[in-house]
Amino acid sequence: MKKIDEYQGKKVLVMGFGISGINAAHLLVKLGANVTANDKATPKNNDIVDDLEADGIKVITGDNPISLANEGFDIVVKNPGIPYDNPLVAAFVKQGTPIITEAELGWQIFDGHLVSVTGSNGKTTTTTLTQLMIAENAKYQVKYAGNIGISFSKIAEDLGPDDTLVTELSSFQLLGAPTIHPHIAIITNIFSNHLDYHKTRENYINAKLNITRNQTKDDFLVINWDRDEWQKIAQRSQATIVPFSRLNKSHEGSYVEDGMIYWRGQEVMPTKDIRLIGPQNVENALAAIAAAKLSGVTNDAIKKVLTTFSGVRHRLQYVMEYQERLFYNDSKSTDIEATEVALQGFDRPVVLLAGGLDRGYTFERLVPYFKKHVKAMIVFGECKDKMKDAGNQAGVPVIESENAITAVPEAWKLSEPGDVILLSPANASWDQFPSFEVRGDKFIEAVEKLTGKKEQ
């Protein structure tokens, strides 16, 4: 952990009691700040408040009182999910109070080698693969943190100058990370996500590009080269560009040719040996390989990881096989693009479970994928009627169910030996579940109840 004095004697407001917020509040006390912690909700677990207060932190819950904007805070550390049009946040913006996220705080105290990953899809898998690959050859600690569910600042406290940290960073986190400077940055892809938060696609792209804002020619930006738009986006970085591509050969980075993965013209391994299924995971592997090779990782270490790693929970996660049906949990597919790539990963008939929060869009884009890959659908949630319309356009049998739990036995009735039963909702979970993780866990529990087996 780097010694810093920027917060000594400063008055700091931490907004949000998530994992990152609680860790940030305690860290700020260690850094000499006078900390107030605020959450709009009242925690059900009193231990959270007790622990904060025991560290000398003032705690305010049950509201984001606008009066806090008049208490002379020097800086605000905001939970990434709190939008900037929140009245209290907007008041701080208006008066010019600096607002950062916990990722920025983590960067400020980190004293090692930083690799950071962002993108619309594939962030967690790429982050995990990159960490595992670098760790295979490392003499020092190699950890991961960030949007992957582990506090950046908490892990950074325990790492030294020779250690490596691979961080998954969301667009929300990057908006509040003005000085973050990874030596290797990865952009997996950019689609049109979170426009309810960012308002426009350009705002969303700009937030993603904060990952490379402070990079120089001595740093590296590893970026997907499969679309012209992403190639143009790369031109906005000052870093050395390292492309990865499943579709376009480029001797400057990692790519696929005739079923073989190459790094700068040298063979690494066949794509068929990657344990993860689907073209999206070939792309994730290519991104991780580029970062790993830039970090000095051997081909043997890369092969070991890619031939054994079976997936991140909720990201096209293999759950089990039962009576010749394969169950997959892809609850992290919260947008259309993610479900598109999930369906392309299977060469068996799919019984698809889909639906969730209605964000106002329709699903015509999925119709060709339904026609090619899906034998039956079970739809649920706020957008079930729109999802059903797309299924009907594809000529796929569709039935309605209450949620992702009740859909499991319905899917079983529609399946036959050799089929895949896939939860890939194409929508956020918040209409029925607090997170995609909870939705996925409940799906797995329903599968275990149906089969009488534990996930594998």
Instruction: State pLDDT tens for residues 222-271.
Output: 999 999 999 999 999 999 999 999 998 888 999 999 999 999 999 999 99
Mean pLDDT for the stretch of residues 136-157: 94
pLDDT in tens, 15-39: 999 889 999 999 999 999 999 999 9
Residue 203's contacts (CB-CB under 8 Å, 6 or more residues apart) are none
Tens of pLDDT, residue by residue over 277-321, are: 888 899 999 999 999 999 999 999 999 999 999 888 898 898 999
Please give the pLDDT value at position 189.
95
Beta strand extents in 40-162 (DSSP E only): 58-61, 75-78, 99-100, 113-118, 142-146
Percent of the chain with pLDDT over 90: 88
76 forms beta bridges with: 13, 99
- Give me the sheet containing 374-380, strands edge to edge: 317-322, 325-329, 420-423, 350-355, 374-380, 398-400
Task: Enter the CATH code of domain 317-450.
Answer: 3.90.190.20
The 3-state DSSP class for residue 177 equals coil
Q: Which residues contact 452 (CB under 8 A, 6 or more apart)?
A: none
pLDDT greater than 90 at residue 438: yes
| CATH class label, 103-308 | alpha beta
State the Cα–Cα distance between residues 126 and 135, nearest whole angstrom.
Answer: 14
Query: Does pTM surpass 0.85?
Result: no
CB 301 within 8 A of CB 136: yes
pLDDT tens digits for 85-122? 999 999 999 999 999 999 999 999 999 999 999 999 89
Task: With a cut of 80, say whether residue 195 has pLDDT above it.
Answer: no
Q: What is the pLDDT of residue 107?
A: 98
* Cα angle for residues 405, 408, 411 (degrees, 5° grid): 145
If you average pLDDT over residues 411-423, what whole number do you get?
97
Structure tokens at 432: 């029925």
Question: What amino acid occupies position 455?
Answer: E
- Mean confidence (pLDDT) of the chain: 95
Q: In which element (H, E) is residue 202 found? A: helix 201-209
What are the residue ranges spanned by the domains of the chain? 11-100, 103-308, 317-450
**How sure is the predictor about 341, in pLDDT bands with cuts at 50, 70 and 90?**
confident
| pLDDT for the residue 456 | 77
Q: How far apart are CA 83 and CA 172, in angstroms?
A: 9
Q: Which residue type does 399 have?
A: I
Which helix (H) or strand (E) segment is 30 a member of? helix 19-30
Amino acid at 351: V
CA-to-CA dists, residue 174 to 119, 169, 311, 357, 382, angstroms: 11, 7, 25, 25, 30
CATH domain 11-100 topology: Rossmann fold (3.40.50)
